[in-house]
Amino acid sequence: MTADTPSHSPQTATGDAFDRPDDSLRNVAGAYRPIPFSRLALWAVVLLVAADFSAVVATNDNFGWPVVAEYFFSPIVLDGLFVTIWLAVVSMALGVVLGLPIAIARMSQDRLAQSLSWLFVWFFRGTPLLVQLILWYNLSFLFPSISLSIPFGPTLASWNTNDIITPVTAAIVGLALNEAAYMAEIIRGGLLSVDRGQMETAESFGMRPMRALWRIVIPQAMRSIVPPTGNQFISMIKATSLVSVIAMADLLYSVQSIYNRTFETIPMLFVAVLWYLLITSILSAVQARIERHYARGDRQIPQAAAKDRAATEQEAAG
């Protein structure tokens, strides 16, 4: 009687459940998913508030939307926009070019190079950009002439400071040196993110340190350098508005010149705001694309590992 009675142990039942995964997957797929009423209500409230705010802004005559539309593509505004863009591009390029050797000097074993690069970063990051621009613009009060001379020796050449430091040169020098300090820290952080063994391996194969830095370390550090550099360029676009205080005809200065004549202050400021938002939105989209490009390597590693794990499980199951 005992022999004829079928027996099922807990181990056998558990094993049968794991041997039939399709049944459990069907149960999970057919499980009841509750409707997220609270989330839908929150979305409805947010959309309702946004729609109400948009209607208030669109119908408020104090914003002067006809004036905004009239001057949005004004030649004066477009000229100022062009100055803003090329000033940001030139200053950012100079900041990157100057920031790279400063970052390398910060990481070098030479105490003099370390000290000088640290002082540069300390000063230009520790003082407001607006103050730096005003100081460069008024450099003639400190040095009426700029001379090229031998230390404690004769003067080789001399120039009038006002002839050299114009609003354009003051804006470029001020923005570029300030940006170089920030880019030096960004580049230094990217270089430090690369494993030290990469440099040691390159040197063990007979590569000189500078060649190993250019050929091995910097290409790998670009993954950590490029995204924050995009953020810095977006910040540079907005920082160019500060040059309006030194009579540089950028976008904000052009807008100010118009509302000083027409007294349409708020509408003209919104012209500048919309242009800044448009430029930063385009740059943000480009930055997101670049970040996805440099993140492909990070995604490919776990995907490859998952494929290998799946193949191993299939072989074990077979």
pLDDT grade for 22, boundaries at 50, 70 and 90: low
Residue 33 located in a structural domain = no
Average pLDDT over the chain, rounded to an integer: 83
Higher pLDDT, 154 or 79: 79
pLDDT reading at 305 higher than 50: no
With tokens 């990217």, the residue in question is: 190
Could you tell me the CA-to-CA distances from 229 to 41, 71, 117, 317 in Å, in that order? 40, 32, 20, 49
Domain span holding position 195: 66-294
Could you tell me the CA-to-CA distances from 93 to 82, 228, 234 in Å, in that order? 17, 15, 13
With tokens 């009060």, the residue in question is: 141
Number of domains in the chain: 1
Residue 24 located in a structural domain = no
Nearest to 245 by CA among 141, 167, 164: 167
Q: What is the dihedral of CA 124, 129, 135, 136, to 10 degrees?
A: 80
Which of 103-107, 221-225, 244-248 is predicted least confidently? 221-225
Higher pLDDT, 101 or 36: 101
Q: What is the pLDDT of residue 155?
A: 80
Residue 147 located in a structural domain = yes
- CB 259 within 8 Å of CB 269: yes
Mean pLDDT of 63-86: 93
pTM of the model: 0.76
Mean pLDDT of 32-59: 87
pLDDT reading at 182 higher than 90: yes
CATH number at residue 84: 1.10.3720.10
Q: How far is residue 64's CA from residue 93's CA, in Å, rounded to a whole number?
A: 38
Mean pLDDT of 30-48: 82
Residue 18 located in a structural domain = no
Q: First CA to last CA across the chain, in angstroms? A: 38
Residue 49 located in a structural domain = no
pLDDT reading at 218 higher than 90: no
| Token pair of 63 as six digits | 């914003």
Could you tell me the CA-to-CA distances from 299 to 4, 87, 226, 305 in Å, in that order? 58, 37, 17, 10
Q: What percent of the chain has pLDDT above 90?
A: 48
DSSP string, the chain: -TTTS----HHHHHHHHHH-HHHHHHHHHTS-----HHHHHHHHHHHHHHHHHHHHHHH-GGG-HHHHHHHTT-HHHHHHHHHHHHHHHHHHHHHHHHHHHHHHHHHSS-HHHHHHHHHHHHHHHHS-HHHHHHHHHTHHHH-SEEEEE-TTS-EEEEEEHHHH--HHHHHHHHHHHHHHHHHHHHHHHHHHTS-HHHHHHHHHTT--HHHHIIIIIHHHHHHHHHHHHHHHHHHHHHHGGGGGGGT--SHHHHHHHHHHHH--HHHHHHHHHHHHHHHHHHHHHHHHHHHHHHHHHHHHHHHHHHHHHHHHHHHHH-
Q: How far is residue 213's CA from residue 267's CA, in Å, rounded to a whole number?
A: 51
Q: What is the pLDDT of residue 203?
A: 73
| Residue 12: half-sphere exposure toward Cβ, Cα within 13 Å | 4
Residue 101 located in a structural domain = yes
